Amino acid sequence: MSFATRADLLARGSANRIAQLAVPTDMDMAPRDAVRAVLDGADVASFPADQQPALAGALAAVNDALSDADALILSYGIPEDAITPMLTRLACTIALYNLQGVERMTEAMQKQYDAVLAMLKSHAKGEISLIPAAPTDPAESDDLAIIESQPRRYGGAAPAAAEDW
């Protein structure tokens, strides 16, 4: 199972942008509508012969980018069956970053990718959880004890225990 599909990637990035990033640079740009149709599941063979190599190359690049995004997310200890909108968004950001390539990298894209990595690292450290709660997990309680005390008046060490007096 994949954290994000081609349709998810298409929903978060324009077909024009994905075509510019995914079509191999040594091929003529395929029409935007053709790229959208192929990403939505249309058969590459149904398009004119001169467009097929670019469309097949774009499809392969997008599939590879999504596969690499899945592998990265799995490497941070997230199980493959944990599909949430947040994980889909993270996978799409990683896939777009992979498609962007070093030579076309923007500062904004680099910041988004770094934020995704920071979130995945926080999950791996146990600071946050990107895994949805199971139906059998106990519900969180709103009935929590709050313990407050007065701040120390003069600073210094904590008072000694009563038996030390």
In a domain, 143, yes or no: no
Q: How many domains does the chain have?
A: 1
In 55-150, beta strands by DSSP E? none
In a domain, 47, yes or no: yes
Query: What's the pTM?
Result: 0.77
In a domain, 31, yes or no: yes
Q: Where does residue 157 fall: left (phi above 0), alpha (psi -120 to 50 degrees), or beta otherwise?
A: beta
Which of 89, 49, 61 lies closest to 73 in space, CA to CA?
A: 89
Mean pLDDT by 10 residues, the chain (165 residues): 89 84 83 88 91 90 94 93 91 92 82 94 90 73 70 63 54
Residue 48 is part of which domain span?
Answer: 6-125
**Residue 36 exposed, middle or buried by CB count within 10 Å (0-12, 13-18, 19+):** middle
pLDDT for position 14: 80
pLDDT for position 149: 72
In a domain, 138, yes or no: no
In the chain, beta strands by DSSP E? none
